[in-house]
Amino acid sequence: MTTPTPVDHQFINKECPGKTASSAAVDLNLDEARLGEPIGWNPTGPKEGVGQWCEAQGPAADWNLKNFCGHMESKFAAAAAQNKSLSGAAAQIKVLTYNLEWWANYQQWPHPGGNTINPALGENIVKDAKIQGFDLMGFQECEGVDIIVDSAKKAGLPGNWGTSGVHEGKSIGICIAYNTDTFSFIAQGNDFVGEDQPGAHWYGKRKAQWVRLAHKASGQTVFYLNHHGPIPINTGGKCGAKATAWNILKIIGQNAQKGDLIFMTCDCNAWSMFQPPDQPTTPWKYVEEIGIMACHIPHYFTNPVVEDVWGIDNHFSNCATPAKKDWTVMTSGTVMGKGGSDHYALSLVYNMPGAATTEESITV
């Protein structure tokens, strides 16, 4: 009897049937005069959460952040020709997403009311940073960005770091750290994108935060968004999964510019994809919220296992691609340890556009 072959490379996204962000048309000839304009947000799709404060309308089916890359590859090649050191790790951007479980690793560490950072978190970051240093770090359940960054630096984190944190009430604790050896600061902001469902799991509204930066070696502008989603898991909160996804994309559309290299990380509190454990030959299927976002910005890394809540932590980018060869969305990055958290930290090394020729390996 032949044992069925497990399926680990087919990812079906019913939210955009026949088309995903990875296969969308790319506007490589974006008019130079349009670079630097806001991407914009002109929704024409369906609405969700109608009548609620978080009501949202979806973009056109072919609206895709990958269509606003412009001439990144040729610009990078020109920058690399002038700066010979712009190769290897210098031509890559390494991104971290990490839910710190703040209440357990700060408020209750090393005892209730301890208010001391668990050093295992920083040590977990540094262990992976020793392989290749981080450029961008996004944290969820983070109420003190300088606390976690300082802890990691004490454990040996290289680089100098700029930070941005948003902590409001019990529901909003999101933090960004960016390596100032790699980037210079341009702007930052945050806005509401959703709210927990009323009831026992309600903590409040949820925000996404962003920073806009300039990559020093190449001059490339970078837009980085970080988010921690509403609960209960897989609901999208008060206004639903579609509304939360569209509100996140709206923030990018309204604040990123044409020609920006966009990165996004999240603990979206939504499964990324699912395959019944007892059906190893069944293709993996995207779950609603992550599936919707993947229709409009390429989805590059997640860890969809039951121990990691079927992939609620995720990496996205519009124009960069994973540095690993023959990658899939489950193998493109590194599943780090938990370091005391109830989430695995996930790191992903991207090649900057034009830095290397890579083949997108997602099969739909």
Instruction: Please report, for the chain, the start and end positions of each structural domain, with discontinuous segments joined by +.
Output: 11-22+41-351
**pLDDT tier at 16, thresholds 50, 70, 90:** confident
pLDDT of residue 360: 36
Task: Please enumerate in sequence order all residues whose Cβ is within 8 A of that of 214, keeping only pairs 6 or more positions apart, or say none.
Answer: 183, 184, 186, 220, 221, 222
Q: What is the mean pLDDT of residues 84-92?
A: 90
Q: What angle do CA 170, 176, 179 make, to 5 degrees?
A: 160
* Cα–Cα separations (whole angstroms), residue 22 to 92, 144, 256: 20, 35, 20
What stretch of H or E contains 76? helix 72-82
Least reliable range by pLDDT among 131-135, 142-146, 172-176, 304-308: 304-308
Give the residues across from 96 on adjacent strands: 137, 347
Give CA–CA dist 265/223, Å, rounded.
Answer: 12
pLDDT of residue 332: 97
Strands 313-317, 261-267: parallel, antiparallel or unpaired by DSSP? antiparallel
What b/e string do you get for 318-335 counting C-beta neighbours within 10 Å, with b at 16 or more?
bbbbbbbeebbbbebbbb
Strands 346-351, 334-335: parallel, antiparallel or unpaired by DSSP? antiparallel
Phi, psi of 156, deg, nearest 5? 115, 15
pLDDT of residue 356: 64
**pLDDT tier at 354, thresholds 50, 70, 90:** confident
pLDDT of residue 288: 95
Task: Please enumerate in sequence order all residues whose Cβ is within 8 A of that of 31, keeping only pairs 6 or more positions apart, or say none.
Answer: none
Please give the share of the chain, as a percent, with pLDDT higher than 70.
90
Average pLDDT, the chain: 90
Give CA–CA dist 68/245, Å, rounded.
Answer: 19
* pLDDT tens per residue across span 258-277: 999 999 999 999 999 999 98
**pLDDT tier at 361, thresholds 50, 70, 90:** very low
Amino acid at the residue 350: Y
**pLDDT tier at 67, thresholds 50, 70, 90:** very high
Q: What is the mean pLDDT of residues 158-162?
A: 97
**pLDDT tier at 81, thresholds 50, 70, 90:** confident
| CATH of range 11-22+41-351; options 3.60.21.10, 3.40.50.740, 3.40.50.2000, 3.60.10.10 | 3.60.10.10
Beta strands across the sheet bearing 11-12: 11-12, 284-286, 273-274
**pLDDT tier at 156, thresholds 50, 70, 90:** very high
pLDDT of residue 12: 83
Q: What is the mean pLDDT of residues 306-326?
A: 95
